Amino acid sequence: MDKIRVTGGNPLRGQIAIGGAKNAALALMPAALLTKGGLSLGNLPRVSDILSMVGLLEQLGVEATDDGNMIKLTAANFTSTVAPYEIVRKMRASIFVLAPLLARMGEADVSLPGGCAIGSRPVDQYISGLTAMGAAIELENGYIKARAPKGLIGTRYVFPFVSVGATESLMMAATLAKGDTELVNAAREPEVTDLAECLIKMGAKIEGVGSDTLRITGVGSLNAAVHDIIPDRIEAATYAMAAAITGGDVELLGARAAHFAAAQSVLQHAGVKMEQTEKGVRVSRPGKLMGTDAMTEPFPGFATDMQAQFMALMTVAEGASMVTETIFENRFMHVPELVRMGANITVHGTSALVRGVPKLKGAEVMATDLRASVSLVMAGLVAEGETTVSRIYHLDRGYEKLEQKLAACGAQIERFKTAEAA
C-alpha cells in the first residue's frame, strides 16, 4: 500500500497548475447518458474517482474514447441499466447515473452509494424529487429501483435543504421530462452552473442558472456537445492554504478567485495575501498567520470541502480560531491525527476550537477521507521532522499528481510503498 512521506520546513514557491473540477466532472460524465450523441469533455482531472466513473459508464454500455486531452462518452446503445454494488461502493458519485438513466430509458437500478465516511448524506431528496416527477421507486436489497416507463413529468419541487447532488440529478432528469419543472432552493455551486451550461449546449432549456430557482422545460432529446470543465476550486483553495501554512509564494495557474471568494475572505483575515493575475491567483503570506473563524455553508459560503485544510492551517496560527461544520456531521475525523502532530484542538459538537501552537511535529498519521488526507500532508509541510501519511488512496480520489506539484515548489515529499506491498 502506498504512503506519503513529508519532511517539513520548506516554504512553497513557484507555480501550480489547477486541474479540472472533480466534483463538476462526476456530474458531467453521467450527463452523457441523456443523449445518443457523444459528450466530449475537456480539462478532465485524472484521479481515481474519474476512472471509477468511466468504469461504471462502460458497464452501462457507454463507449469511452480518451485521447489524453479530451474524453468522448457515447451512450448510443445501452447494455445495462444496472449500476452494481461492486462499482458503486467505491464512490458515492455513482448515484449520478440514476436520474439520466431513468429519464432516457425509463428504468434504473442503482446500488446505494459508498464514498467517504463523513456523514449520512442521505439520498432522500433524489428519491422524493424523482417520485414527484412520476417515477415509481423502491429500495430493495440495497438497490434503488426506479421505473418511469411512460417518461418523467415536469413538476415543482422545493428542496428541504440545499443539496448539490440532488439539484444536479433533478436538473438532468428534468431536461427530458414532459412539460416544465421548477426546482426551488436549488444549490448554486459553480459545479451546478457548469453542468447547467453543458446541458444547455446539449439542447436543454434551462433558466435561472446560478440562482436558487431553476426552471427547466423538457425536450424530446438532447444532442452531442463539447464542454470544458471548470477549474477545481477545492484544489485551488487547498494549494492556497498549503502556500500559506509554509509562508510561501505560489501562483495557482487557471484558478478563478470568484469560485472560492468566501475562503479568500477568511484567508485574508488570517494574514494571507491573494491577488488575481493574468494566469490565475497568486498566494503569499508576508507576515504572521493569525487565528480566524470559519463556518461551512452552501455556496457562496465557505465550502465544507475546504474545512479540514483550513483547520490544519489554523493549528500554527497565532491565537485561537473556531471552525464550525454545518454540512456533514462526521467531518472532524482528521482532528485526532492533527493532535498526534502536536495540534491543540478541542471539539465541541459541530465546532472545533483550535489554539495555535508554535510548531507541529512529524508523526505517523492515517487519512480517514479525501480532504482529511490532504490536510495531514499540509500539516506535514510545516511540521518539524518527518510525517508519514497512510491510506492515501483517499487522496488519489481527488488530487492529481499532488506530490509532484508540491515537490516542484520546493516541498520535500515522496510517495513510497510499504514493505508488505513492495
Beta strands across the sheet bearing 39-42: 63-66, 70-74, 39-42, 225-228
DSSP 176: T
Query: In the block, which residue shows the cell 450523441?
Result: 37
41, 116, 266, 365: the catalytic one is 116
DSSP string, 367-384: --SHHHHHHHHHHHHHSB
Angle in degrees, CA 409, 254, 251, rounded to 5: 35
CA distance 25 to 72: 13
CA distance 231 to 44: 9
CA distance 364 to 357: 19
116 is catalytic: yes
CA distance 305 to 234: 7
C-alpha cell at 274: 491573494
Query: In the block, which residue shows the cell 447547467?
Result: 196
- Active-site annotation, residues: 116
